Amino acid sequence: MGTWDIGPFDSDTAADFSYRVDDAPAEKRAEVLRAAFREVTATGDDYLDSDLAVEAIASAALVAAQCPGGEPVTTAYGPKEPLPELPVELRPMAVAALDRVLGQDSELLELWEESDGEEWKAGIRKLRAVLAGA
């Protein structure tokens, strides 16, 4: 896993995902985020691959940036193209995806618990709180 910090875009997978968001036509960018949330929540109780989890977290950060109290995505590894106003129905989808990432059988959670797990989990919970409160 090419990860250099605990932020939503601080990995190779998240940076690659940003390119996918940028490559989508403006009117389809919300669908790219929606698909990332669906892939994670569709795993149910099955093992959740870390790459899917990373993409859902990056998507959640983009949605949260448009919420009251959300932090803008300013990293050079995030999307370069501006996002249109995102549909509010993405917010509960993002919350459900983040809950799944922090749940059982999550490879990304297991990987983070081997290092800075508590700090990383605190960041995910903060992101979730912004989305749930919006």
- 71 found inside a domain: yes
SS3 of residue 128 by DSSP: helix
**pLDDT score for 44:** 85
The 10s digit of each residue's pLDDT in 46-97 is 999 999 999 999 999 999 999 999 999 999 999 999 899 999 999 999 999 9
Q: Is 6 a member of any domain?
A: no
In a domain, 108, yes or no: yes
Amino acid 90: pLDDT: 98
pLDDT of residue 115: 82
pLDDT confidence of residue 36: 98
pLDDT at 1 over 60: no
Instruction: Please state, as a whole number, how many other Cβ atoms lie within 10 Å of the Cβ of residue 47.
Output: 11
Residue 3 placed within a domain: no
pLDDT at position 45 is 84
Total tally of structural domains belonging to the chain: 1
Taking a C-beta distance cutoff of 8 angstroms, is the pair 90, 37 a contact? Answer: yes
Q: Answer whether residue 1 is part of any domain.
A: no
Domain-located, residue 4: no
Task: Tell me the mean pLDDT in the region 105-125.
Answer: 92
H/E element holding 4? Answer: none
Which of 25, 9, 12, 104 has the alpha carbon at shortest distance from 57? Answer: 9
Asked if residue 107 belongs to a domain, the reply is: yes
- Flag whether 7 is in a domain: no
Domain around 109? 12-133
User: Is residue 115 within 8 Å of residue 55, measured between CB atoms?
Assistant: no
The token pair that represents 83 in the structure block: 């996002």
Most confident of 1-5, 32-36, 116-120: 32-36
